[in-house]
Structure 1
């Protein structure tokens, strides 16, 4: 079927079920950012492959609501699909709900698969559309026309050792249940796969780039149940979980467990990380506490063992990146290198490192104008040859059995313009300012975001994405609850949190610059003004200085850059060959 034929088939079912609008989200029953192929509904329906967006269909209009990261991609992929791009004004907001309110008549019916909609969005739809008497109904209009729909993944799951996690399952469960007592909750439903992975020290391969396994968990007064395809676990792992007080039940059994909860019970649910469908199964009379999962806060603060392992990962990852930078420099203009072949070569260097388990996300390798697309993904059609001129932006990361990495570097290839040099230096300045700042305990992410943007704002330059996100420990490369962006996120930047700092400048049609390191929050000083924190940079990879315009940097920023590159050399050189170490030493010399 063509995309227009699929759209027609959806509209036919809508007419049969008297639905005036149909919402298709980019999600799964676990509210994941990245989803198994079985749930790639946006791609099936419209051809759009971005990780964030919402399709809304009526009999007279079909649109994709997505943010600026995907405007160019969406315009290309939606051509001849029957869908039009609707540009979000504010990233990560459900602006389509306002559109539905303004467009639909009183008494209309809005349909969606309630297993693919969060509790928060379901309740927002109810409240926003209520005064027009709009009815919400759950339908899956895609499954009946998705003839070759991929099955749910069946890959094995596995437990990871405490020597990597630094804490036992029993200890983690005890901490979470103590939080539930404070909230006066008898039960907690956990659907978010990274929370489950952290809580049960379990990992899997069900979602590309994220080492998680499809599962649910229900914590009760005296029991804890993990709902998972029982064939995914070995007998040894089942026994280990049992000894930690965990019962194992089938993946779909969670529905019966929720539907049969005691009517006088109180259940804790994270409304952003649980689906509306499971929420609607709760019996009448059950009290509901809606807050962020306690485990989300716990896993954000890395324990000493996790930090030690992450430091080790940074050395391994830095070695691979050094080899990649050297390979690019020595081969550009001599052999044919494209965006895709360069990305494959970088993955090969990472794969040679001990404990490598795969990429942490799809490599963004953007040459020249493609670098101006923050979430660019090269395809066979767009794959550009890399020539000895311009800028090459590479945003990549690795999953290792003892940590996760995420790093962006811009490689200057020659004949660079003054604009490229200025943009590169200003982005570097912004990243340095964020990395070396001191801030009082209780500081929020939006304050760090502003500190990073100030050097760019001074030149009337801005970027449309956030400055930083939390990162998991051998888990999701995007992790909360902290974030460095402009939203009024109430979560303070706390000790032990690992977060990215990644400012950027994007010139459509010309080039993009983004420089990204991971930092950990550490204590700085206690004085008459209470506690102050700062960041320690964890990422170990050369920052090229050949484009730097020293007159745009302050003395302390130049000192930071020189010290950083010297530290990179000292930490990585013992793990490099003599030739690689000599190359890095030359590239790391002070400016």
Structure 2
């Protein structure tokens, strides 16, 4: 049985109609025409505590991104391409209409459907300044208006809503953090001085955890302590948490740098901050509108912009990089043992998606260093592999069958590093089409791994490298090519990414994923994911400062799915070199039988 993930069906399409009916009673009672429910918490987080899973409770949809708009006579759930199939399966489509983000945004749907003169209610703690501006423009187009609420309307009707989490806040050892909190705060304050900021409200718990070298457990699979901080240019910082979370170790670690205060006093602290009349930076990505309005109402100036911590956190120091390398070596051993086991057992036809998840988790536990998984494993057999963000449940669990593709996307939280890896495996014999598609995905993966680019290049500029082999065949995939990775923090970390939306220049020390894919609906899916580190790259004779990638993940890529005939010599050389490194790094840590499997799985081709 898995220790860190479960396979229960937590929602049902049947819950949507009943819960939406209750919400509509509340809307009518308050004189509202509708209410907007984003999939977010007060920190605009991707991973949220159970007490903030309002969208899932209201509609039945459990994806990590989406927005519901509930009007008195109709309702929509807007999701991106990752969740097209999932949304249609999880909600009652007679009551809630799934809408593709590529076709219509939530704001466009509001503009088209809010009745003239209608009032759309919203929770100011769940919207940033930018998202609210877009919503304001939408209601103007509809001839309606917006109204903030003092209490979330879903919370009013969610009678058995879970209590907010109270996991203990603990220090993150300096050996893994690589820099003291005092040194980090000094760097942050220098950035604040450059921007002429009098105080910084830290609304992103990831940034708070990094800046003060703290970790928690308020969110599933991510060691986050949910809370806020106020960092003045001069004087001690204040950290706002539920007092039940604060351990003696955390208090001692923070020491003279900051004081802990009850979260119940946070809004009054914002009032005091505003009354000083200074310039207060609110993070544009995670700072709620409620923060801005509170500071401005008290007489302060809310300076909405990037939290300088985000970019600092993204550039890993030597200790974090060393920790990531160690974590990936450890994880690579567990993955090799898993893939060898899968090859032995899958052809017998008895394994299921859940069996695979449980086995891999046990192997990671056996490292003796696993703190948690980094996200619920995506374990998809056959047609389930075609769902990029599929989550196996007891009711969806499929048998891993012969001559089908099996895809597993998983990761681990170790105190020295966070991992994320996807491997696509054929059980039995692949079709020619499967091999063609897999090889094109591999070619895109190699193109990113081999890329060399000038300093200042963004992820958006190299995203197409991963897609060209697919484009050549009239194919593509609907997710980004890579996301940032935290250091014993979130498996999805910004602002860096390799995607059409990746506008942040890549810098040496940033960690990203490299994960192009291809998905044939109702048939199979392919994704090959390694983690990569941005590093300096010297080019003899060049006149620009150049960067490239070091691959950190060492796990075999299934050669049975590779079609060497469509690869060029450089691509084949890259794959053979990569597999030689896997043998050299992982092989010495394996038993004789698994090492023999690894030798064959990483044999040279071409």
Shift of 1:398: 0.5
State the Cα distance separating 1:354 from its structure 2 match. 3.1
1:248 is aligned, of 245, 255, 260, to: 260
Q: Deviations over 1:531-565 (max 9, x none)?
A: 11111101111112122111111101000000101
Aligned to 1:576: 590
Call closer, same or farther: CA 1:553–1:82 in 2, change over 3 Å.
same
Structure 2 CA distance for partners of 1:81 and 1:179, relative to 1, 3 Å: farther
Alignment correspondent of 1:136:
147
Report the 3-state secondary structure (helix = DSSP H, G, I; strand = E; otherwise coil) of the residue aligned with 2:428.
Answer: coil
Over 3 Å counting, the alpha-carbon distance change for 1:140 and 1:237 in structure 2 is closer
**Residues 478-517 of structure 1: pairs in structure 2 closer than 5 A:** 478-487=492-501, 489-517=502-530
Contact 1:164–1:402 (CA under 8 A) maintained in structure 2: yes
Q: Which stretch shifts more, 57-66 or 572-581?
A: 572-581
Cross-structure match for 1:302: 316
> 1:203 is matched with which residue: 211, 215, 222?
215
The answer to whether the 8 Å contact 2:386/2:526 transfers is yes
Q: Deviations over 1:451-500 (max 9, x none)?
A: 1111111111110000000000001000011111112x431011111111
Whether contact under 8 Å (2:514, 2:532) holds in the other structure is yes
How far does residue 128 in structure 1 lie from its aligned partner after superposition? 4.3
Compared CA separation, residues 443 and 95, structure 1 to 2 (3 A) = same
Q: How does 1:514-525 map to 2 (within 5 A)?
A: 514-525=527-538
Shift of 1:528: 4.2
- Which of these residues, 326, 333, 339, is aligned with residue 319 of structure 1? 333
Q: Are the counterparts in 1 of residues 71 and 114 from structure 2 also a CA contact under 8 Å?
A: no
Distance in 1 of aligned mates of 2:189 and 2:120 = 38
8 Å CA contact 2:386–2:522 kept in 1: the answer is: yes
Indicate the residue corresponding to 2:248 in structure 1: 235
Residue 413 of structure 2 is aligned to residue 402 of structure 1:
no
Q: 1:341 aligns with which of 351, 355, 371?
A: 355
Q: Structure 1 residues 348, 28: closer, same or farther in 2, change over 3 A?
A: same
In the other structure, the counterpart of 1:564 is 578
Is 2:114–2:139's contact at 8 Å kept on the other side of the alignment?
A: no
Residue 426, structure 1, aligned to residue 437, structure 2:
no
What is the Cα deviation at residue 80 of structure 1?
5.9
Answer with 273-282 or 305-314: which moved more. Answer: 273-282
C-alpha distance in 1 between matches for 2:563 and 2:144: 61
* 1:128–1:181 CA distance, 2 compared to 1 (3 A): farther
For 1:553 and 1:241, the matched residues in 2 are separated by: 54
Q: Measure, in 1, the Cα distance between the counterparts of 2:201 and 2:125.
A: 14
The alignment status of 1:119 with 2:143, answered yes or no, reads: no
- 1:232-286, Cα deviation, whole Å (9 max, x unpaired): 222232022123x111101232111002222521100112211122222114431
Contact (CA 8 Å) 2:284, 2:307: kept in 1 or not? no
1:150 aligned partner: 162
CA distance in 1, matches of 2:107, 2:465: 33
Q: Is the 8 A contact 1:166 1:304 kept in 2?
A: yes
Give distance in 1, aligned partners of 2:542 and 2:561: 42
Mapped pair 1:101 → 2:111: yes
Find the counterpart in structure 1 of residue 454 from structure 2.
440
Q: Out of 280, 283, 290, which is 1:270 matched to?
A: 283
> Retained in 2: the 8 A contact 1:521–1:534?
yes
Distance 1:73 1:133, change over 3 A: closer
CA displacement, residues 206-241 of structure 1 (integer Å, 9 cap, x when unaligned): 101111011101011322011112222222320221
Structure 2 residue runs without a partner (length 5+):
1-13
> SS state of the match for residue 513, structure 2?
strand
Mapped partners of 2:117, 2:196: distance in 1 = 39
Correspondences of 1:254-293 after superposition (within 5 Å): 254-261=266-273, 262-284=275-297, 285-293=299-307
Identify the range of structure 1 (474-483 vs 258-267) with the bigger mean alpha-carbon deviation.
Answer: 258-267
| 1:589 shift after superposition | 1.1
CA distance in 1, matches of 2:375, 2:40: 17
Secondary structure at the counterpart of residue 281 of structure 1: helix
- Match status 1:67 vs 2:80: yes
Matched, 1:450 2:464: yes
Shift of 1:144: 2.3
Measured in 2, the distance between the counterparts of 1:472 and 1:236 equals 23
Which residue in 2 is equivalent to 1:83? 96
Distance of aligned partners of 1:418 and 1:50 in 2 relative to their CA distance in 1, 3 Å threshold: same
- Residue equivalent to 2:431: 417
Alignment of structure 1 residues 158-169 onto 2, 5 Å: 158-169=170-181
Q: Aligned partners of 1:538 and 1:382: how far apart in 2?
A: 33
Query: Does the alignment pair 1:43 with 2:56?
Result: yes
Distance in 1 between residues matched to 2:51 and 2:260, nearest whole Å: 24
Distance (whole Å) between structure 1 residues aligned to residue 532 and residue 314 of structure 2? 13
Structure 2 partner of 1:110 = 120
Q: Using the alignment, how far apart are the partners of 2:459 and 2:49 within structure 1?
A: 30
1:128/1:17 CA distance change after superposition, 3 Å: same
C-alpha separation between the residues in 2 aligned to 1:103 and 1:482?
A: 36
Q: Provide the aligned length of Structure 1 versus Structure 2.
A: 586
CA distance in 1, matches of 2:246, 2:337: 37
Instruction: Please tell me the root mean square deviation across aligned C-alpha atoms, in Å.
Output: 1.6
Q: Is the 8 A contact 1:157 1:213 kept in 2?
A: yes
Residue 396 of structure 1: how far off its partner (Å) = 0.6
- 1:387, 1:318 → 2: CA distance? 25
1:180 aligned residue = 192
| Counterpart among 531, 543, 550 of residue 536 in structure 1 | 550
Q: Once the 2 structures are TM-superposed, how far is the Cα of residue 335 of structure 1 from its aligned partner? A: 6.2
